[in-house]
Every structure is written in C-alpha cells, then in structure tokens.
Amino acid sequence: MKSLALIVITLFINIKCVYMWSYNPLCLFTECCNNDYIPGDTNKLATLLRERVYGQHLVENAIHAIAAHWNPHYKAPKPLVLSFHGWAGSGKNYVSNFIAESLYKYGTKSKYVHLFVGRIHFPVKEDTHIYQQQLYSWLKGNITKCPKQLFIFDEVDKMPPDILNAIKPMIDYKYEVDGVDYTQSIFIFLSNTGSALVNEHYEDLWKKGEKREELRLSHFEKLIEKGVFNEEGGFHHSDTIRSNLIDHYIPFLPMQREHVEGCIKDQFRSRNVEYPTDAHTQEVMEIIEWGPARSKLFSTTGCKRISSKVALIVAKYYRKQEGKEEL
C-alpha cells in the first residue's frame, strides 16, 4: 500500500510539473502570472473578513465586486476601482492586506501587488507633473507584464490634487490604452476624506433607530462622492470622480465598544491567549479615546494602538507566570 501511495503521489507531482513546464518552466522557481500564483481566492477573503474584521459588514461588497470582476466567463469593460473611506484605525489597510493575501499567493509581497503612500511617493506638490509621468509609466510597464495587478493607493487625502488624473485613461471604459489592456487590474484607494460625513450620517441613522447591520452602501455612497470631490486632497475635483470611474465607495463605519473589544480579543488570540481575562481586556480599553464629544459613541482611533498594548500585557502576564520580574 505504501508503494502504491508513493507511485500516486509521484505521478501527481510529475503531472503538475509537466503542466507547469509546458506553460513556462521558470514558473517552477519564480512567481508567474498564472492561477497558481494568482488564485483570486474570494472564499478565503470572505473568511478573513468574517473572522478578523469587526463592525464593517459593508466591506463584504468588496468580495462580490472582486469575484464579479475576475469571473472567467465575463469580460470587464474597465478595471475595478474601489475607494475605502473612514477614520484612522477603522480597518482600511487591514482589509487591503487581506485582499492581497487572498488574491495572490505571496500576498503583499507579490510582485503583482503595488502600494503607493501619499506622503512618501508624492510629497511635493510642485512635482506633480513628474509624479504623473512616473505613475503612468509604472502602471503601464507592470500591466504589460501581467494584466492581473493590484494597485493600492494609501493616504489619498495627502496627495496633490491632480496626481490621480494621470491614471484616468487607465481606469476608464476602454479595452486598451496605448496598446495595453488594463481591464483585469484592480485599484484600491484608501482615504480619510469623507470620514467626518460618514460618522455624522451614521450617528444620525443610529439615533433614528437604524440597525447598523442593515445599513447599505446606498446610505453613504452619494454622500462620500460629493464630500471627497470637494475636500482637499488627491480626490479634490478629480477626473476620476468627475467621470464616475470609481465603481464602489465603501465606508468604514466608526467603531463602537463591541467592535473594539473584538479587535482586542483578536490580538490576544494572535498571541496564543485564547481567553483573556476581563481585567486584561479592560486594561486595553482604557487607552481608547471616544468621540464625538456629544455622544462618546465611537472610538476616535479605531483599533490602532491596540496591538502594542496587548503585546505588553501578554509579555507581563507570561513573565509573571514564569516567576520573572514584571516589565
């Protein structure tokens, strides 16, 4: 039986190797633009969002949008463009990382995943024209090598207003731009702009008795679109908005006490503490600031700073258990 099992396993490996070699022998040793390295696993994404993200049910729309966009039986008329809006700490970067992890074998380390940060990559307003040329060339060069690319633009609110106009032709309803097909790529914008409007509108809905879990994108999308178009930052009077090229504006709602507690427990679990005591949880909660002043309903920092505080508590707890001096 063992020899038979060995034969079956060897045969399977050989078949897979023959398939990969027939496709491109280099794919045995390096990341390639194929389904092995770009599985596009939206089921994995759904699981990660369900188990690791708290209070952001509207983000589930990103799963459906991506699944539809990469449907092998459907030719998208344009790249998928998602725009995430919310307070710092509400989960925008967190979710973006999960998207990369689920769509690409190597996640954020994949050569097909690209991150641009407003204050780092586009710091000087006077150099906008240079940034536009560089950005256009970078996107074109990468998509020429592989059509299924993920581009994440963080801190859009910190970018000069005209930067994103450079990519307008690439995310428009065109099958080719300058000989390159961009339709299979995905663009995600992360921004704090519009967060005040989202928070105020959510608080108003909450006061009216609306249930958080029953809110839909339609409650927020027009509000966000109008707000970010007029606020200072990368979307200010941007052609991407003026031409209706953003497919979905996804609000990250302000986090309430139960959502922050979920983040805290998640951080404890990631450090092998499955059931933290109420005292430990409360110790972390003490660093959370709440707003707005009139209601103190939301965490003004979301789940930021929680990880380092939990790490400190876990270190203190285990050192004490081992009879060592506390930190």
Q: What is the pLDDT of residue 6?
A: 52
Q: What is the pLDDT of residue 317?
A: 78
Cα angle 194, 197, 200 (rounded to 5 degrees) comes to 150
Structure tokens at 281: 């949880």
Structure tokens at 200: 């105020």
At which residue do the structure tokens 């998207």 appear?
Answer: 99
Q: Are 254 and 87 in contact (CB under 8 A)?
A: yes
At which residue do the structure tokens 């103190």 appear?
Answer: 296
CATH architecture assigned to 42-252: 3-Layer(aba) Sandwich (3.40)
Chain segment 79-89, per-residue pLDDT in tens: 999 999 998 88
Name the residue ranges covered by the structural domains of the chain: 42-252, 257-321
Q: What is the pLDDT of residue 236?
A: 86
The low-confidence residues of the chain, meaning pLDDT below 50, are 8-22, 324-327
pTM: 0.87
Chain segment 202-241, per-residue pLDDT in tens: 999 999 999 999 999 999 999 999 889 888 888 988 999 9
